Amino acid sequence: MEAHTMRAAVLLLLGLAALASAATTFHGYRVVSVTPSTSAQVKLVKFLIKRHGLEEWTHTLKPRVSMDLMVPPSSFRAVLKTLYKHHVPVTIKINNVQALIDEQMKQHRVLDALPRSFDHTRYHRLNEIYSILDGVETDSELVTTYVAGTTYEGRDIRVAKVSSGGSKEVIWIDCGIHAREWVSPATCLYILDQLTSGSSEATRLLDSYDFHIMPSANPDGYEYTWTDNRIWRKNRVPYGSLGCHGTDPNRNFDSDFGGPGTSNSPCSDIYHGPSAFSEKESQAIRDSVISHNPKMFFTLHSYSQLWMTPYGYTHNLPANYNEQYRVAGVGVDALTAVHGTRFVYGNIADVIYMAAGGSSDWAYDSAGIQYAFALELRDTGNYGFLLPPDQILPTGEETFAGIVAAIDAAK
């Protein structure tokens, strides 16, 4: 090959490599926790978020409650200077987001073949999750899977039904409605593993209940966190004229749709979508919940270690609040007993923040499910969404124990 042809070929290859690795990176990005103590300080933090386009890792924004923000290196000095000047307490939780992401990606070996059985030491791509589902379906008489919907990009939203036969009361568990909350799908797999293990506890539970487990409620978003942007939250539907993608499926339910804690901007992380149930992900949950009429509804998120009851769209409490609060308390006690992990529990609007259009409010109000819980799993921000894979197992263990105790406590 002549030198210039060679050079052109090399350039072409370099170009292709650059395209292939055009993932969003977070070199030098930090996650800081700010705790404004007055409403003036809250205003200041709001201003900084807007001014510097800071990504909210947690969304709480009220006096005396801390909030985790990701700060790009270019804004770090300015943000810190302003916070110090106005005496807003701030601590650095993650010093280099990309370093943590790289560390985790390094641990992810590409397997020679798709896994057919559980492995709680690592996070899985969607095809691995579904291959594991296929594996249990083949090996266990207890599991059948069904497709609850198909996403914008054409991926199936699958549900594993665990039943020892007959038709029993149903327990619903969905995971991964937010793409970046990786420990959530991993926990659904752990729960599925436990329920199909043949243990005496599993047998006891399956004598009374059928479980419907949706391990990845937002497959397009989840895959995007593996390929393009590890901290992506929403689905991947393009909306609006600014080239933004994604509706937050947990703002898209018909529970005070468009109310507090939602945004009508398609570029926002909490975009509620054009109309209630405009999205395949919320439709899939709605349709399969309605057709199976569960007794209890669990939706698993991360992070912050919370066990939340309705409502998120109002500070008013539902009619059976005391009963849901009681059962949440039993769940949290059992969860804490396993590894000492502390959870706060109570109604969404008070425990975290107001957020309308959420699935658990819809489950309670519209589907009439008397126990509708939204859980925020580990941790409290040391790793946040980037929870190391060696915490998958303990997270699964404690969450399963909490859910089982809540099931046993429900009337």
3-state secondary structure of 339: helix
Q: Which of residues 233-252 bind ligand 0X9 (CB under 6 A)?
A: 250
Taking the least distance from each CB to ligand 0X9, the nearer of 155 and 180 is: 180
CB of 56 to Zn ion, least distance (A): 12
- 367 binds ligand 0X9 per the rule CB under 6 A: no
d(CA 361, CA 256): 9
3-state secondary structure of 95: coil
Single residue of 149, 185, 215, 312 touching ligand 0X9 by CB under 6 A: 312
Helix H, strand E, coil C: the string for 207-231 is: HHEEEEEECCCCHHHHHHHHHCCCC
CB of 393 to ligand 0X9, least distance (A): 21
Please report, to the nearest 10 degrees, the dihedral formed by the alpha carbons of residues 259, 261, 262, 268 taken in order: 160
CB of 355 to ligand 0X9, least distance (A): 3
Q: Which residues pair with residue 68 across a beta bridge?
A: 33
Neighbours of 349 (CB within 10 A): 22
Query: Which secondary structure element, helix H or strand E, spans residue 174, and what is its range?
Result: strand 169-175
Q: Which of residues 107-166 bind ligand 0X9 (CB under 6 A)?
A: none
Q: Which of residues 36-65 bind ligand 0X9 (CB under 6 A)?
A: 58-59
- 285 binds ligand 0X9 per the rule CB under 6 A: no
Q: Which of residues 273-332 bind Zn ion (CB under 5 A)?
A: 301
CB of 177 to ligand 0X9, least distance (A): 8
Single residue of 120, 155, 158, 178 touching ligand 0X9 by CB under 6 A: 178
Read off the DSSP letter of residue 12: H
Helical packing angle, 392-409 and 183-195, nearest 10°: 60
The yes-or-no answer on residue 137 being catalytic is no
Taking the least distance from each CB to Zn ion, the nearer of 70 and 206 is: 70
CB of 163 to Zn ion, least distance (A): 28
- 361 binds ligand 0X9 per the rule CB under 6 A: yes
Q: How far apart are the first and last CA of the chain?
A: 78
- 374 binds ligand 0X9 per the rule CB under 6 A: yes
Binding mask 5-24 for ligand 0X9 (x = CB under 6 A): --------------------
d(CA 23, CA 97): 14
d(CA 300, CA 323): 20
The residue ranges that bind Zn ion (CB under 5 A) are 178, 301
Residues involved in catalysis: 376
